[in-house]
Amino acid sequence: MAGVVRPRPASDSSEPDEPSGDPTLPELVDPHWMHRATELADTGFWSVARRLPELVREAVSLGWSSSRQDTAASLGLNVAAGVLTTLGLLATTGVLQQLFAAGPTPTRIRAALPALALAAAAVTARGALTVAAGWAQARLIPQINYTVERRLFETTSEVELAAFDDAGFAEEMDRARDRGVAEAGSLVNDTVNLVTGVVGVVATAAAVTIIHPVLLPCLLVAAAPEAVTAVRMARRQRVDWLARITRRRRKWMLGDLMANRHTAAEIRAYQMQDFLLSEFRLMTRLETRAELRLARAQTVTRALGLSVTGVATFGLYLVLGGLLLTGVVALAAAATALLALQSARGSLHTAIFATNSLYEDALYYQDYRDFVDRARRRVPTGGDRPVDGFDRIDLDRVSLRYPATETAAVDEVSLSFRRGEVVALVGENGSGKTTLAKLIAGLYRPTGGSIRWDGVDAAELDPRQTAAQVAVMSQEWWKFPFTAGQNIRVGRHDRTGPGGPSVETAARDAAAHDMISELPFGYDTLLDRQFKNGQDLSGGQWQRLVAARGLYRDARLLICDEPSAALDARAEHALFAHLRRHPDRTVVLITHRLANVRHADRIFVMDHGRLVQSGDHDTLMATDGPYRELFELQASGYLAGAGGPTADR
């Protein structure tokens, strides 16, 4: 439920009053990634640990598919470094044994030298291997990111348009893009860290066991409290973050409103600054309080953990002392055990943090995988019959029902048109014109009936070749962040030789050339203000550019969906004069300005998804029906005199 807006006075104080009551903004819905975050908070450490082999397998196969060499190096070099850790500890015992032996000091030092050299070599080699492993890991991650992004965009750009009408699909795509892609690199990174940590622990345990088996349980018991503390702190942080996420999102949202070019004018015009700042202050105060609460709890856990760790370490000293006194272990072995404890603690830490993050990475990566699998199933396959233009297109009882809608947007429409004709689709808002045009363009497949190109069902035609015959000037164009020239050229970016109009000719035909020439860098002007020297255009200027792109495509079938809605009268006149002039090209025109369809060869009138009238202008005007009604209504607006609708105002 939306709350009541209660603006508070702004204050300069850095220590504002205690927050009173709830924030005034309405409740937020959970973001799409929330289901994973909740799942994560509800899963215990051991449940996560049990899934580790499967997660590691997943990460290794992902790394392997991106770069075998760097995956093998990242893992292999870390394992080798672990072997050297064992060797280094064993060599250290050798050094200590010689130093603690009886005899004069120079003799003991001389005797210790070979083991010392071995320990130094092991430490150096281990360092070199760790650096090399880090280098391989650093090379691997960008390659993985590239692989998963490439897979994602290869699929999303090929998927059938209808998939985007599916609410679930769009949401899954956002989820895969937002987190899935980013987490793929982390999945592998954390796996390598986990392997590094586990190898470190195993290497230390192996060294200790070789020195004396009784030392291993002592080591494990001494390292355990710190491990438990690390797990508890990591999970508490995660759960706390989750509990605060809604408030943090509100804060981000408010911050975004206050530092954004698009909102700047409205915020000033309505003097909303104080209101937004007071909301922001409230969120910040609550957030700071929550952060302090967490910090307090974490400090207590850490203090307890450190105390228990201290007791455990003291216990280890006692046990080692006892073992020394009873002669079970030698002094050198006991000293090495203490060194091993330090090394094991570090490795255990790495392994525990990697395990926690690995599980989280895997959940989001799974979203990505599920989405890509699902999207691949929605890439249209189509037929393989070649297409090179058409003489005639027939629609036979064509219907389309959008997902989760009760009625068909296009309902059993049958019509035909020929090469070189200009046909118009007219009708009231929501009558199905755009949907029908998208069906004709092949952007949607009919859910009923068929569309035939020269007698061949469009489903049997090669979809790429069919698409190459069509140009669409959409009513909802996108402002591509390219130069003016590129914005036109992308209409047929792969054109190599001559044939088809030049960029400038297309721009002239769409009444865009003069406007582009007046831009600071002409056709090279970047049309996005996010870039240096970028410019923006007015709605009508953009529409001219979109028209130029459609004309540059030079397709046999040109679909113009409200191509002049934002154009001024002169530009509209120029565009329509051009659209009528090409006998070899079929134009499907949708417009509410019926004066522009007077010269169409055929006019199809739609109403609630059905085709209710067809014929040329004169025929339709001679018939009592919706076309004549709409035309006369519109024409009356242009007629001077007291009887026109405008005169009443």
Ligand X SMILES: Nc1ncnc2c1ncn2[C@@H]1O[C@H](COP(=O)(O)OP(=O)(O)OP(=O)(O)O)[C@@H](O)[C@H]1O
- Minimum CB distance to ligand X, residue 411 (Å): 10
Which C-beta is closer to ligand X: that of 433 or that of 549? 433
Which C-beta is closer to ligand X: that of 242 or that of 565? 565
Contact flag: residue 334 with ligand X (CB under 6 A): no
Which range of residues in 98-106, 424-432, 453-461, 525-533 is near ligand X by CB under 6 A? 424-432
418 Cβ contact list (under 8 Å, min separation 6): 391, 392, 393, 586
Which C-beta is closer to ligand X: that of 427 or that of 626? 427
Which C-beta is closer to ligand X: that of 82 or that of 427? 427
Q: Quote the CA–CA distance of 571 and 567 in Å, as a whole number.
A: 6
Cβ count within 10 A of residue 186: 22
The phi-psi region of residue 589 (left if phi > 0; otherwise alpha if psi is between -120 and 50; otherwise beta) is beta
Q: Residues in contact with ligand X, total (CB under 6 A)?
A: 12
- Minimum CB distance to ligand X, residue 561 (Å): 7
Contact flag: residue 135 with ligand X (CB under 6 A): no
Which range of residues in 44-52, 187-195, 391-399, 427-435 is near ligand X by CB under 6 A? 427-435
- Residues 79-98, one symbol each (x = binds ligand X by CB under 6 A, - = not), give --------------------
Contact flag: residue 435 with ligand X (CB under 6 A): yes
Contact flag: residue 430 with ligand X (CB under 6 A): yes
- Minimum CB distance to ligand X, residue 53 (Å): 44
Q: Specify the pairing of strand 557-561 against strand 470-473.
A: parallel
Cβ count within 10 A of residue 173: 22
Contact flag: residue 421 with ligand X (CB under 6 A): no
456-457: strand order across its sheet: 410-418, 392-400, 448-453, 456-457
- Which residues lie across from 394 on neighbouring strands? 416, 452
Segment 623-642, which members bind ligand X (CB under 6 A)? none
- Minimum CB distance to ligand X, residue 428 (Å): 7
Phi–psi pair at 473, nearest 5 degrees: -95, 100
Which C-beta is closer to ligand X: that of 516 or that of 558? 558
- Amino acid residing at 309: T
Report CA 592 to chain centroid distance, whole Å.
Answer: 37
Burial of 493 (0-12, 13-18, 19+ CB in 10 A): exposed
Which C-beta is closer to ligand X: that of 212 or that of 433? 433
Name the 3-class secondary structure at 313. Answer: helix
- Amino acid residing at 325: L
Which C-beta is closer to ligand X: that of 166 or that of 287? 166
Name the 3-class secondary structure at 444. Answer: coil
* Binder of ligand X out of 93, 196, 434, 591 (CB under 6 A): 434
Which C-beta is closer to ligand X: that of 333 or that of 413? 413
Which range of residues in 247-255, 316-324, 426-434, 532-540 is near ligand X by CB under 6 A? 426-434
Scan for tokens 């893009």, then name that residue.
177
Q: Quote the CA–CA distance of 112 and 129 in Å, as a whole number.
A: 25
- Amino acid residing at 224: A
CA atoms within 13 A on the CB side of 264: 4
Contact flag: residue 447 with ligand X (CB under 6 A): no
* Binder of ligand X out of 281, 374, 433, 602 (CB under 6 A): 433
Which C-beta is closer to ligand X: that of 155 or that of 435? 435
Contact flag: residue 429 with ligand X (CB under 6 A): yes
Q: Quote the CA–CA distance of 517 and 535 in Å, as a whole number.
A: 13
Which C-beta is closer to ligand X: that of 241 or that of 402? 402
Q: Quote the CA–CA distance of 159 and 146 in Å, as a whole number.
A: 20
Contact flag: residue 157 with ligand X (CB under 6 A): no
Q: Quote the CA–CA distance of 409 and 430 in Å, as a whole number.
A: 8
Q: Comparing C-alpha atoms, which of 371, 370, 425, 359 is closest to residue 398?
A: 425
Name the 3-class secondary structure at 92. Answer: helix
For residues 136, 139, 140, 146, the Cα torsion angle rounded to the nearest 10 degrees is -170
Which range of residues in 37-45, 149-157, 335-343, 422-430 is near ligand X by CB under 6 A? 422-430
Contact flag: residue 166 with ligand X (CB under 6 A): no
Cβ count within 10 A of residue 29: 8
- Which residues lie across from 610 on neighbouring strands? 607
Which C-beta is closer to ligand X: that of 63 or that of 432? 432
Which range of residues in 65-73, 262-270, 320-328, 429-437 is near ligand X by CB under 6 A? 429-437
Which C-beta is closer to ligand X: that of 11 or that of 405? 405
Contact flag: residue 432 with ligand X (CB under 6 A): yes
Segment 392-411, which members bind ligand X (CB under 6 A)? 402, 405, 409
Which C-beta is closer to ligand X: that of 365 or that of 444? 444
Contact flag: residue 431 with ligand X (CB under 6 A): yes
Q: Quote the CA–CA distance of 426 and 561 in Å, as a whole number.
A: 10
Scan for tokens 């975004």, then name that residue.
256
Contact flag: residue 427 with ligand X (CB under 6 A): yes
Segment 291-330, which members bind ligand X (CB under 6 A)? none
Contact flag: residue 168 with ligand X (CB under 6 A): no
* Binder of ligand X out of 76, 118, 130, 165 (CB under 6 A): 165
- Interface residues with ligand X (CB under 6 A) are 165, 402, 405, 409, 427, 429-435
